[in-house]
Amino acid sequence: MMFKVGLRAEIILNISIVVGAALLFGGFLLLRLTERELVEERVAGITSLTLSLASAAQVQTVDQDATLRRAATLLRNLSPSAAPESWSVVDANSAIYAFLGPRPQDLPDVPSLRTATISSEPVVRVSYPGAWWPFSKPPPAQVTVTAGLLLSQGGIGAIHARYSLEDIRGRLIAAHKLVLLYVVCYGTVLIGFGTILLERNVVGPVRRLLAGIRKVGAGDFQEQVPVAGPGEIAELAGSFNGMLEALEKSRRQTEAHICNLEETNRELRQTRLELLRSERMASVGHLATGMAHEIGNPLGAIMGYLEYLRKEADHPVQVEVVERALVESGRIDQLVRDLLGFATPPKKVDEQVDPCAILNEAKNLVEGQGKFDGISLVVECPEHLPPVCIAQHKLMQVLVNLLLNARDAMAKGGTLRLAGGLEQKVIWLSVTDSGAGIPEAVLPHIFDPFYTTKPEGQGRGLGLSICHRIIEEAGGKIEVRAVSGGGTTFIVSFPVMGDQHGREG
């Protein structure tokens, strides 16, 4: 895995390399040029001095020994600042006549002496090893000059002098160190100011842009990057902000589209369930129509016999029993008519009833049949509620069906609560049992025709589906909810009368 450095470290490193290299190159180039000029100037001065000494040694005499002695004397009398490091005076045979300092080992040969004497041009040899690094110790720097002496009778001699150039190199080494110090100090200042400027104009905006990109990656499209810095970076930040706005707009459109799709899917599922329920209820309607015709004839005969018995009965108890039988037969007759209504569109009902009164009547009806032994019936309903628009016998049928289902759910007894109320322009009635409850997987199918959880022979799965249809035809709604700790609540609700009419319209 490669080590990755940050943008700031990368820029500082590159600036350091470029600035350091530029300063070092410029400083060392200037020192090298200065060094060359100083060495050339010193060599020219040394050469001129040596030629002057050679010329002065042979001005007043042509005696060979006198010339050599005079040359040696002139060299000895040179001031310390101009004196060579070592010198020697040689005769025509390159033999040393006089010398100062270490005995020279690099004396010129005879042809070189003759050339230097005849041409009047000294033989100059410069040894100056360069030193780029001021902390190393290079070989000695020196220059040797051989100037010819013209002796008597065509004889030749020479002054062979060696001068040190260490003072020049010492000065240049000190200058090298000064250049290095200058490079460090000036480079530090340049890098510091460059880093500050780059941090403000490049690194800072890039980091803010990177932070914005990370927030976008996390799903936050609200963050706007400040449009600052050089033109290109400011333009990049502006483009990034524009991209964020476009992404946020696209996300909102996508969320709205998803919400519409979810709503459409819910509506489709509800429509599908309604179609399935309608199809099943239509099948029930066809079956019920045939059954109603078959039941209607014997029921009419029974009601006729009961009317006859009521006229013939002379005891009050007998009359009361017959009248109750007629009332229940009338209910059966009405149920038969309702079964016939499954095959025909329902008619609008203008009957207005008090839901609390119907709830209490249903409670009294089931209690009178003795089917709620061991069950405590608790009514929590106000004395009066606003009227609802539904046929009285149909609401009675729904409530009785819910009460009987609640009784079946409480085989071991318990408390059955009947309640009612008005909330936010909605009139509601509820039946809550304390039974075992309905499994979560069963709740979505509880109002489907022929769907039942009762043992075989105890139900056909039509009661709740018929209740659902009755309440929906009246403009209301029926719901089922699981009760925490066990039990089930069925809620029948209707809008208040004005809203109900508007809903039907």
State whether residue 418 is helix, strand or coil.
strand
Task: Give the CA-trace dihedral at 94, 97, 99, 104, to 10 degrees.
Answer: 20
d(C-alpha 490, C-alpha 470), whole Å: 15
Determine the pLDDT at residue 491. 92
- Residue 219 sits at φ, ψ, to 5 deg, of 100, 5
Amino acid at 434: S
* Alpha-carbon 114 to chain mean position: 91
CATH of domain 349-505: 3.30.565.10
Determine the pLDDT at residue 77. 78
Determine the pLDDT at residue 433. 87
> Over the stretch 132-177, which tens digit does the pLDDT of each residue have?
666 677 788 888 888 877 766 656 778 888 888 888 888 878 887 8
Angle at 201 between CA 197 and CA 207, to 5 degrees: 115
Determine the pLDDT at residue 501. 46
Q: Where in the chain is the domain with CATH 3.30.450.20?
A: 7-188
Candidates 115, 71, 76, 102; CA nearest to 89 is: 71
Strand blocks (E) in 309-459: 352-353, 375-380, 388-389, 414-423, 426-433
Q: How many CB atoms lie under 10 A from the CB of residue 105?
A: 5
Determine the pLDDT at residue 264. 86
Could you tell me the CA-to-CA distances from 236 to 127, 205, 206, 231 in Å, in that order? 61, 10, 10, 8
Query: Which pairs count as long-range contacts for 191-196, CB under 8 Å and 24+ apart, including other chains?
Result: 191/12, 191/15, 191/16, 191/19, 194/15, 194/19, 195/8, 195/11, 195/12, 195/15
Candidates 403, 428, 410; CA nearest to 487 is: 410
d(C-alpha 119, C-alpha 115), whole Å: 6
Report whether CATH 3.30.450.20 matches the domain 7-188: yes
Candidates 142, 161, 148, 51; CA nearest to 104 is: 161
Mean per-residue pLDDT pooled into runs of 10, the chain (505 residues): 57 75 78 82 86 74 69 77 78 73 65 63 80 71 82 71 82 80 81 76 74 71 67 73 78 87 85 68 61 70 76 77 79 68 54 86 78 81 86 86 84 84 88 82 73 59 77 87 82 78 43
DSSP-derived secondary structure letter, 352: E
Burial string for 388-405 (b: 16+ CB within 10 Å, else e) reads: bbbbebbbbbbbbbbbbb
Q: Where in the chain is the domain with CATH 3.30.565.10?
A: 349-505
- Residue 475 sits at φ, ψ, to 5 deg, of 85, 15
